[in-house]
Amino acid sequence: MTSSDVATHYRTDGLLDRILAALARSGKDVGKLTIDDLGLVDEFHSRRRRATEELARMLVPLASDHVIDVGSGIGGPSRYLAATYGCRVSGVDLTPEFVAVAIGLTERVGLTDRVDFRKGSALALPFPDAGFDRAWSQNVAMNIEDRPLYYAEMRRVLKPGGRLAIQDVAQGPGGPVVFPVMWADRPEISFLRTPEATRSMLEAAGFRVIEWVDNSAAALIEAAAERAQMRAASGPPVLGIHLIVGPSAREKLRNGQRNQEEKRTLLINALLERVG
């Protein structure tokens, strides 16, 4: 498995045009958007905007903080943090199409003075040592085989005492994951770890755990509700993550719910502090 395999999984042509067209059909002014206008499409992770709100309340960035968003996708959480807390955010993502969309949407919500994005690998972050006050990462680790390097890179770019907030899908006790899922069509690009192994690797990388939360039950309830809404509709909603995922969205949502119900996957949130 290489980073290009992961980038290929997420690649989707014409994404910005699809999102803007869907926003226009929803009655939005695509030249002057808000982060709430984008909330149904730009939170490409478990529990969507609610997860971002909860994780942000754990991190509580200050307006003076510079935050790095590792695996920033199309930029929803980065924009939310900047708009809500007034901080600066720099997002990094492996997928060029996601970076381009993140920049385009950020321009349209008027946040380019506080939010920027660039292409880069979580295993070789394009920033100097100790440049950030806070770090953030949601639903990224599932695609990363070298977890120790991933955690070491986030520690490297954090200032001493800096804090890291993560949301991760973890391996549960119920058995292997049923594919395809949102982060992988096949097992070769999926690298789940148990919560216990994840915590041990974070601590070994030089982080102290401040808060550790199992959100598996909440994730299951919300996944079931999301699937029920899709089943009840005559077709996919105008706005939603299907714009990113494509025709396989229904199957991946179904498998995601099954994996959660059978405890093949768990969802954890954590707040950590760089030691030393």
pLDDT score of 230 more than 70: no
Residue 130 belongs to what domain range? 3-274
Tens digit of each residue's pLDDT (9 = 90 or more) over 23-41: 999 999 998 999 999 998 9
Nearest partner of 50 among 198, 182, 225, 205, judged by Cα = 225
The arithmetic mean of pLDDT across residues 41-63, rounded, is 92
What is the band of 221 on the pLDDT scale with cuts at 50, 70, 90?
confident
139-184 pLDDT, tens per residue?
Answer: 999 999 999 999 999 999 999 999 999 999 999 999 999 999 999 9
Residue 265 CA to residue 186 CA, distance in Å, equals 15
pLDDT for the residue numbered 5 = 83
Q: What is the average per-residue pLDDT within 220-245?
A: 74
Our count of domains for the chain comes to 1
pLDDT of residue 119: 98
CATH number of domain containing 82: 3.40.50.150
